[in-house]
Amino acid sequence: MAFRIPARTFWRASPKNAVTAPMPSLVRKYAMPAPEQLPNKNRTAIVTGSARGIGKAIALRLAQDGYDICVNDIPANLSGADAVVKEIQSMGRSAIAVAADVSNLSEVQKLIERSVTELGPLNTMVANAGIAQVKALLDLTEQDLKRMFEINVFGVFNCYTTAARQMIKQGGGGKLLGAASIVAFKPFALLSHYSASKWAVRGMTQAFAMEMAEHNITVNAYAPGIVGTAMWDLIDEELGKKKGVKKGDTIKKYSSELIALGRTSVPEDVSSTTIVIDGGIIFT
């Protein structure tokens, strides 16, 4: 006999699965697995653009999960990268800070070479670095478009290819992760070239996943929404100027109208996100 159990019953029976909405000011803490529980005590990861924001949250989460981390950012943000390194080292993990521009292939190659030399074989590459710009389509210049793709698309490509070659040389597979965005699925007005760059990341990630499968390298992208970072502060400010509203109003409006939880996300939300990992049955 068929029967139904009210959804509320499952909700009450599984409080650990309940979705909560912590205030952005709260710092999330994660339990560190015991060393003997780690399948490999010397797993390493490179996280680009990790001196702050989402990249920093990912680097810290990976460290908490037992990875040694190569913290990367551009030279202008190196002091922030050094601070992240100290935070990771306080967890008992090894970490180094390496300045490199992901749009420059030779710098990415040197980044990976140094990480491997100082931390050991590369297991995970997180191509997180990216930029955004608020500008109307008819105001875009060739340089605007070029710079956006140099960082957001060529940067991811440089990280994917160089890391994949290193992993193939090592043997044993690995993981490649790239920063897409919700605009990789639905573009935002005044963010046209940023949206286009993230559509490219999404497509390239799926293509890499197909070609890297034979080497036991998994390739996935994460697509953050409206997150309280320096990048979204800039987007909020520039959109506010266009619409004649004060700073903070635009991101507040988007958060209340578009996000089911009714709040702006925090970087830790992204670092804790669960993605579909099914060997390539579903591509999102």
- Domains in the chain (CATH in brackets) are 39-225 (3.40.50.720)
The pLDDT tens digits for 97-133 are 999 999 999 999 999 999 999 999 999 999 999 999 9
Under the banding of pLDDT at 50, 70 and 90, the label for residue 144 is: very high
Q: Which of 67, 194, 222, 254 is catalytic?
A: 194
59-87 average pLDDT score:
97
Q: Look up residue 226 and give its DSSP letter.
A: S
Average pLDDT of span 157-161: 98
Measured CA to CA, the distance from residue 110 to residue 117 in angstroms comes to 10
Residue appearing with tokens 């460290």: 63
d(CA 23, CA 247): 20
Q: Among residues 71, 96, 90, 119, which one has the least CA distance to residue 32?
A: 90
pLDDT tens digits along 12-35: 334 444 444 444 444 444 444 444
Strand order in the sheet with 95-99: 95-99, 68-73, 44-47, 124-127, 174-179, 217-222
Q: Is the pTM of this model over 0.95?
A: no
For position 261, what pLDDT does the model report? Answer: 56
Mean pLDDT of the chain: 81
Query: Of 148 and 268, which is predicted with more confidence?
Result: 148
CA distance 53 to 51: 7
Amino acid 206: pLDDT = 95
CA angle 174, 80, 56 (to 5 degrees): 40
Over range 62-89, report the average pLDDT: 97
Q: Is 194 a catalytic residue?
A: yes
Question: Given the structure tokens 């699965």, which residue do they identify?
Answer: 17
Give per-residue pLDDT as tens, 189-210: 889 999 999 999 999 999 999 9
Q: What is the pLDDT of residue 52?
A: 94
CA distance 251 to 274: 24
pLDDT of residue 224: 85
